[in-house]
């Protein structure tokens, strides 16, 4: 006979990226996730750390892909006074992608508690930071607002908040929202970058997502920064990173993330 228990679920990653694989056209090369941690099913504590990491290609010319000065993450889960609680946190300093997008410091953090009489957990963003964001040297100021999503700490509560308005759902049924309150240029704007909501639309490069939060039933995933390169630039990157051995470029897309955390409601048996 199975003993009733709570199943903890949480993960955190400091930084990660993928780029076209020059040796295998049509395939991606995944850079190992940095400072990764995941919570054991029984709860407890897990952490990961990375220092002074830089992934670059040297042929046909030196090309920085992903670099980070410091990255750290932890996940923690415990039952306190009969209530399961967990935390997922990831931070990075000196995060940079393709030598074009830089964040001096970022923190992504989610906290959850699952009361015995509730079907789904309450998941809240807390103590998040995005400081020193710039694109090609053009600085931006990011202001975060965790209060709204801290109050709307369940899928149903967030869904109801939209009222008659169209709910921004992904193809898999997640609500897409953000902890960003505003983004503005510190001084002169980048001539090819346009601020749209919580994204930066960069003509000829791609889209940069800031403070994106995916919300499902009993699930939330927060990413401090995510970059998706445009297809034309992906093709140029593939050609640029091609090897002399086969003379061909890679395929697939190029993307990167910094400060990526997720928590589930767990459950029991």
Region 111-139: what's the mean pLDDT?
Answer: 92
The range of the structural domain enclosing residue 51 comes to 10-264
Q: Which of these ranges, 205-214, 218-227, 231-240, has the smallest mean pLDDT? A: 231-240
The confidence band for 220, taking pLDDT boundaries of 50, 70 and 90, is very high
Residue 69's contacts (CB-CB under 8 Å, 6 or more residues apart) are 51, 52, 93, 94
Within a domain: residue 168? Answer: yes
Within a domain: residue 3? Answer: no
| Distance from C-alpha of 208 to C-alpha of 103, rounded to nearest angstrom | 12
**Local structure of residue 211 (DSSP, 8 states):** E
Task: Using the predicted structure, report yes or no on whether residue 22 has a pLDDT greater than 80.
Answer: no
Please say whether the dihedral angle defined by the alpha carbons of residues 14, 20, 23 and 24, taken in this order, is positive or negative.
Answer: positive
Within a domain: residue 5? Answer: no
Biggest CA pair distance of the chain: 67
Domain count within the chain: 1
Nearest to 71 by CA among 2, 112, 17: 17
Region 113-133: what's the mean pLDDT?
Answer: 91
Within a domain: residue 139? Answer: yes
């Amino acid at each position: 006979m199975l003993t009733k228990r709570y199943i903890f679920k949480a993960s955190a990653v400091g930084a990660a990226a993928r780029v076209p694989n020059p040796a295998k056209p049509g395939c991606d090369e995944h850079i190992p996730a940095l400072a990764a941690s995941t919570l054991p099913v029984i709860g407890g504590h897990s952490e990961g750390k990375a220092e002074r990491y830089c992934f670059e290609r040297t042929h046909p010319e030196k090309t920085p892909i992903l670099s980070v000065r410091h990255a750290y993450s932890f996940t923690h889960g415990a039952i306190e006074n009969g209530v399961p609680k967990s935390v997922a946190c990831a931070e990075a300093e000196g995060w940079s992608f393709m030598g074009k997008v830089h964040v001096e410091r970022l923190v992504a953090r989610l906290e959850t508690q699952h009361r015995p009489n509730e079907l789904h957990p309450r998941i809240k963003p807390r103590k998040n930071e995005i400081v020193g964001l710039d694109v090609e040297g053009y600085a931006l100021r990011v202001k975060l607002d965790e209060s709204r999503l801290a109050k709307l700490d369940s899928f149903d509560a967030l869904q109801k908040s939209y009222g008659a308005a169209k709910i921004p759902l992904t193809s898999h049924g997640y609500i897409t929202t953000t902890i960003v309150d505003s983004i503005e240029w510190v001084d002169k704007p980048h001539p090819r970058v346009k601020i749209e909501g919580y994204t930066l639309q960069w003509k000829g490069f791609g889209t940069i997502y800031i403070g994106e939060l995916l919300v499902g039933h009993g699930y939330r995933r927060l990413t401090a920064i995510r970059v998706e390169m445009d297809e034309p630039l992906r093709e140029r990157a593939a050609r640029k990173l091609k090897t002399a051995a086969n003379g061909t470029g890679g395929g697939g897309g190029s993307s990167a993330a910094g400060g990526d955390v997720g928590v589930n409601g767990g459950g029991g048996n």
